[in-house]
Amino acid sequence: MEVVNKSLSEQILEILRERITGFKLKPGTRINIDELAREFKVSKTPVRDALNKLIEKNLVEVNPRVGYYVKNLTKKEIEEICELRRVLETYALRKANFNNSDKEKLKALMQKIDQAERVYKKKGDRHLFDETDRELHGMIIQKSENRYLKKVFLQLFDLINLLQHTHQRVMSSIEEHRKLIRAILDGNYEDAQKILIDHLSKVEAGSIEVLTLMREKPLSSSASLKKVKAAK
């Protein structure tokens, strides 16, 4: 895959960020700079620059004697991310004022969730589910109308997106999303907050389970990169 000028490192950063948060490059995977430089048809410098920026985003880590790896979050880190997410989203929901236009969007999203369920049941493809998840939780944050809250959430977005792709409880989450939307549409915001807290807590538990297993069984570099290239 060849990149064109934007800045090269920024383009490579974005591609790798999408692979990591989309779970195409799994936590614990070693990242081979030489292979990436050949793939993107660039020198190693912009690849290394991109990886160093991903370290700042907590998506990549480096072992000076070994090289770069996709960051494998610890149980403590997952708990801290999810705790902050619960605080932000429940506060946003408490402050939110859903008008008629918002409610129509939620009804349309409910139909999209139904479609995501059908796709997942038929093909095992969760892409549409992940899209509806981002839309629902993103809408809650936007309705807070608090620009500082939105800024903090945006800083967490990549890590939240990564955790979203780790848990395997798609069908359960779909039903929880339906319950959350119904509560909002009915104006039962107290129930909606309880549903939201319960949902996010279960997502946290599912993410911890999967990532803990991955820490115990790290992936090899070459196998993971081949999977990434095949998935492109």
**Structure confidence at residue 166 (pLDDT):** 79
pLDDT of residue 168: 79
State the 10-residue block means of pLDDT for the chain, 232 residues long: 69 95 90 96 95 95 92 92 96 95 98 97 94 96 96 93 84 97 96 97 92 66 38 35
The pLDDT, as a whole number, for residue 214 is 73
Please tell me the predicted confidence (pLDDT) of residue 43. Answer: 94
Contacts of 46 (CB under 8 A, 6+ apart): 7, 8, 9, 12, 40
Distance, CA of 18 to CA of 11 (rounded, Å): 11
Q: What's the pLDDT score for residue 222?
A: 38
- Say if pTM beats, i.e. exceeds, 0.75: yes
CATH of domain 75-213: 1.20.120.530
Question: Which pLDDT score is estimated for 230?
Answer: 37
What is the pLDDT at residue 6?
67
In CATH terms, the fold of domain 8-71 is Arc Repressor Mutant, subunit A (1.10.10)
- Residue in the block written with tokens 């995501």: 116
CA distance 98 to 140: 9
Phi-psi region of 171 (alpha: psi -120 to 50; beta: other; left: phi over 0): alpha
In the chain, what are the domain boundaries? 8-71, 75-213
